[in-house]
Structures are given as structure tokens and as C-alpha cells.
Amino acid sequence: MISTNDFHTGITIELEGEIYNVLEFQHVKPGKGPAFVRTKLKNLRTGSNVDRTFRAGEKMVRAHLERKEMEYLYREDDFFHVMDRETYEQITLSGEQIGDGVKYLKENDCLNVVMHGEKIVGVDVPLTVVLLVAEAEPGVKGDTASGATKQATMETGLVVQVPLFINSGDSIKIDTRTGAYIERA
């Protein structure tokens, strides 16, 4: 159990049979009436955000999540086969469970599978990945305005805006939170 007074960003709670991650919180002490806690919560199963208000000091059930590092083996239609790196046990994840992370995964990459008990509630891909540029338009000579970019297609099918000097066959580092080019790898 955890008190709403002890909320902080990143904590997970169980509410109405669902697991939520606290994204934002604010303790409010109005001039009249009791204090309360205003929160923004993310449902870990559906990915939707909800705003909830709780009484100050209200007790909530804290959800204990376990993160297992796993290795992505291969894709079969919309299913992704991963292996626990310690026990070598293999499980299958759906594209829906991985979410936007499917655009960044290559075979043999590591990812964290987030579990609550035996139930998978989410998948965390690394913050940055290195991908090979499969296709990029050639940079036009003289088209060197400051900050000019062009589209490039990665080996996973992801399309990223990159600087003009990036060519097919180059490896680049990409931020998985924003999908933005970081640097040449």
C-alpha cells in the first residue's frame, strides 16, 4: 500500500483492476476544504492517459513490476519471438504489446519486457538504436543550407529525417523516444 501523499513520477499503482504509471502529480491545499492530489496516469495495458483526483492520504495498492532483459530473435507475421537471456525460455509477443518499438527492432537486439506477476504489461526498447540506412536520396551539390535534411529509409522500414551527408549503407544512431536522427554511428 502507498499513500497518495507519497506519489512521485514513475510509481506504478493498481486502480480498478488496471495498472497505471504516475506521469504527473500535484498536491493541492485549497483555502477551504480538504487537501487533494491531482494526477495524470498512464494505463500500461492500453497506453491511454487519464486524469484522476484523489483525497490526500488515500491508500492505493502499489503495483510491483519486474523487468526482464530479453533478446529479440525473429518476427513471424505480427508476432515477435524473444528469449530470456538467463533461462533461454522463449516467449512470443504481439506487435500490439511492443507498440511503436517494432520500428526500431532488429534481430539479436535486447529489450526489457515489463511484467506484473506472470502478465506482460509492456515492452521497453533501448533509448537509442543503431540502424543501417537502406535507402536515401543522394544529397544535391550546392543544397547545403544550414540544417537541411532529407528522408532516409532504415533497414527496419522506419523513415527518418537525416542530414544531407547521410548515404545508403551508413549506420546512424536514432532516439527511440522521438524517432529523430542523433548522429552517424
In this predicted structure, what is the pLDDT of residue 37? 93
Residue 39's pLDDT band, with cuts at 50, 70 and 90, is very high
Cα 155 from Cα 119, distance rounded (Å): 31
Domain 128-184 class, CATH top level = mainly beta
Fold classification of 66-124 is OB fold (Dihydrolipoamide Acetyltransferase, E2P) (2.40.50)
Degrees (nearest 5) of the Cα angle 79, 97, 159? Answer: 75
pLDDT per position as a tens digit, 131-172: 999 998 887 666 555 678 889 999 988 999 998 888 899 999
Of 138, 135, 180, nearest in space to 157 by CA? 135
In this predicted structure, what is the pLDDT of residue 55? 92
- Domains 2-62 and 66-124 agree in fold: no
77 or 144: which leads in pLDDT: 77
**Mean pLDDT (whole number) for 78-103:** 88
Residue 98's CB: how many other CB atoms inside 10 A? Answer: 22
The structural domains of the chain, with segments of one domain joined by +, span: 2-62, 66-124, 128-184
Give residue 26's identity as a one-letter amino acid code.
Answer: Q
Tell if the pTM clears 0.85, that is, is over it. no
Architecture of the domain defined by 2-62: Roll (2.30)
Burial (CB < 10 A; 0-12, 13-18, 19+), residue 111, is: buried
- pLDDT(95) > 90: no
